[in-house]
A and B are shown apart, each in its own frame.
Chain A
Amino acid sequence: MKKVLALLLAFCCIFVAVSCGGDGDNNGNGGANNDSKVKAISDVINNSQPTYMDTLTSYNVDGEEYKGRFETTIDKAASRSSFTFNYARPALVEEMHDSPTKTVSGTVYYKDGQVSVNEGDSWETVGNKYLELNINLDASKLKEYTVSEDGNSITAKVLPANAERVLGTVIDAEGDISVEITTNGTYLWRVLVTYTAAGTGAEVSVDTSYDYSIRTLVFPGDEVEE
């Protein structure tokens, strides 16, 4: 389950937007071996600046499915963001008197270089960027791939050894990791990652949708104009 969280956090990004036109990172996909179509999709990913990311996770083991939803919202005008999580996991021994399943939920708020995990009661200083989008499509690191006819989307298989390079996080998988990336040629729309977790044999799915609508966030403690 922790590995799933690490993966989804790699797909969610909370930026410090200095201005509405903040520059996207270009992690670089240079190299003569990189297929031009793959690079084109990689460029779309690196240049996309979503304002909302919604990730659905599914962790299916021994007939039990544990689901989660993680939402990142970015208010570019106010340079602030929020990360809301709600997920289920197997209960720890000390938690089992209530239910065999434990639900964890909460919201993390970010503004002005600080983060709050307690509804704004206290704020801690963090670095300039909380998380980064680290999908790095390097054709040479894909076991196999198919680019759609319009050139906007790709389905690929990634060896676990290359997961960190391609997806920005280590994935302890049994067999290949499947990746589906959908764009419209300009904007990243969806990333779906599925694999079988090594050891547990759990079937894992991390499904992230991206949106670009203007978002306005109201934080706890904000003065509300009448």
Chain B
Amino acid sequence: MKKILALLLVLCCAFSIVACGGDDDNNNDTGNNDTGNNGGTTDVIESFTTMLYESVPTKSEVTSVETMRSVELISTYTLTAGKTSDGLAATTLISVVETLAEDTSGTLNPKKTVTTREYYLEGKGYKRNNSAWDADVSNFAPVRGAIGLNLDKSIMSEYTYDEATGTLVVKATAENATALLGNLIPEGQTVDSDVVVTVVAAGGRISSIDIEYVIEEHEVGDMDVSVEIKDIDVRISAKYYYNTQEIDI
């Protein structure tokens, strides 16, 4: 579970805005390792790459569902950026993470939920839960920068684009998972399936990103000997909003 955190936090992000007004592709576009443009119009992959860099959501909601055998662990991350009623810039990150709990009562697959609230407030700095304000904000990452999707056609096994719904679906093999998802795949985690990424755009901005793949996890037994390999289905859904947010801290 902890290994998913970096991926989810990057999906909860406020981008740096670099306005250049990228246009959506006007043609349905499908490709299989092709690199050409469509008769001079903006290539859909280029268009989506531009939007990934330029979108500056005011709110991001990311839900992760990890399914291992019959156990489903659900985590949500909500990042909100706006101003307080006093006009101060503020950002909040609320994380609700489900993990397997150690339970000596004999309960099968017990869960526990950990909620973390992190805040940034202009003039005050950063704080977590009920801690004091820390002027050093390096601990808080209202991540600014492009989301880690690397829409490189050469690493895609296929992609399709539906202009009517603004939906780009990209598939890549497990070997190219890290290249496609970049820093979204935590170190040490092995992707054991094709990766499917669905990106929806509207109004020149990214509305949602959905990612599905399977990871292979080795359960370590006594004396650090791997005793079992488990497959964990990972489904991540990120939704992005761009309306003005009012922050209460």
Contact = CB atoms under 8 A, between A and B. Distances in A.
Are A and B physically bound partners? Answer: yes
A56 B242 contact: no
A150 interface: yes
B208 to A, nearest CB: 8
B165 A211 contact: no
A186 B21 contact: yes
Given A150-B19, A214-B165, A50 B246 contact: no
B200 to A, nearest CB: 8
B242 A209 contact: yes
Interface in A145-172: 148, 150, 152-153
Contacts of A152: 19, 21
A54 B244 contact: yes
A65 B87 CA distance: 13
Contacts of A189: 203-204, 242
A187 B242 contact: no
A186 B202 contact: no
A75 interface: no
Interface in B222-249: 241-244, 246
B244 A207 contact: yes
Contact of A56 (B21, B23, B241, B246): B246
Contact of B19 (A148, A187, A211): A148
Given A212-B202, A212-B203, A185 B244 contact: no
Nearest to B204: A184
A210 interface: yes
Contacts, number: 55
B60 interface: no
Nearest to A214: B165
Most interface-central of B21, B22, B24 (chain A CB within 10 A): B21
A110 B229 CA distance: 55
* Range for the number of chain A residues in contact with chain B: 20 to 34
Contacts of B203: 50, 184, 187, 189, 210-213
B19 A184 contact: yes
B207 interface: yes
Judged by DSSP, the binding face of A is loop
A145 to B, nearest CB: 18
A150 B54 CA distance: 14
Contacts of A207: 244
Contacts of A50: 203
A207 B20 CA distance: 23
Contacts of A212: 202-203
A211 B21 contact: no
Most interface-central of B23, B54, B244 (chain A CB within 10 A): B244
A65 B86 CA distance: 11
B202 A214 contact: yes
A209 B59 CA distance: 13
A51 to B, nearest CB: 8
B209 to A, nearest CB: 13
Interface string B132-154: 00000000000000000000000
Contacts of B105: none
B85 interface: yes
B235 to A, nearest CB: 20
A186 B205 CA distance: 11
Contacts of B244: 54, 56, 190, 207, 209
Interface string A44-82: 000000110010100000000100000000000000000
Most interface-central of B19, B204, B241 (chain A CB within 10 A): B19
A189 B203 CA distance: 8
Interface of A: 20, 50-51, 54, 56, 65, 148, 150, 152-153, 183-187, 189-190, 207, 209-214
Task: List the 9 shortest-distance A-B pairs measured between CB atoms, nearest first.
Answer: A185-B21, A212-B203, A209-B243, A54-B243, A212-B202, A187-B203, A213-B202, A184-B204, A184-B21
26 contacts: A51-B202, A56-B244, A65-B85, A148-B19, A150-B20, A150-B21, A184-B19, A184-B22, A184-B54, A184-B204, A184-B205, A185-B21, A185-B204, A186-B21, A186-B24, A187-B203, A189-B203, A189-B242, A210-B203, A211-B202, A211-B203, A211-B241, A211-B242, A212-B203, A214-B165, A214-B166
